[in-house]
Amino acid sequence: MMIPVCRLADLPRGEAFRLETVPPVAVFHTDEGELFAIDDTCTHQDASLSDGWLEGCEVECPLHASKFDLRTGAVDAPPARLPVRTHQVLVEDGMVYVLLCDTPPPLPPCAAARVVGAAE
């Protein structure tokens, strides 16, 4: 699903825009002019990454300083351990759009899935 975000002229370089989808998505416009979109919620705790600090192709979570690579969603600095999803960004006629990824977001392993003391 392609969702309109904002006009490119309304998203200055070095800034982010929070898209109120479920889950929320953050769109980043780097100082170099590149556009990236990732899930907006840090996988360590529920902090908005669009409120974080953008440096190059990384965003630092404002809560506990986890860093995420905007190109891949990979964690570049703990305490987060799980990556965030990335989404495709398109610009058409000066308008920024996000094509949402349809894979489920990364979730921590469920301890309840393990049955302790189960008979073999």
pLDDT tens-digit series, residues 35-94:
999 999 999 998 999 999 999 999 999 999 999 999 999 999 999 999 999 999 999 999
Domain boundaries, the chain: 2-113
Evaluate if residue 111 carries a pLDDT over 50. no
Confidence band of 107 (pLDDT split at 50, 70, 90): low
Which tokens go with 8?
């490119």
pLDDT of residue 102: 86
Contact 9, 94 (CB under 8 A): yes
In terms of pLDDT, which residue wins out, 116 or 67? 67
pLDDT of residue 97: 98
pLDDT of residue 113: 45
2-113, CATH topology level: Rieske Iron-sulfur Protein (2.102.10)
Evaluate if residue 116 carries a pLDDT over 60. no
Among 12, 43, 41, CA closest to 51: 41
Which tokens go with 54?
């953008």
Compute the average pLDDT of residues 4-27.
Answer: 96
Identity of residue 22:
V
- pTM of the shown model: 0.86
* Neighbouring C-alpha atoms within 13 Å toward the C-beta of 111: 0
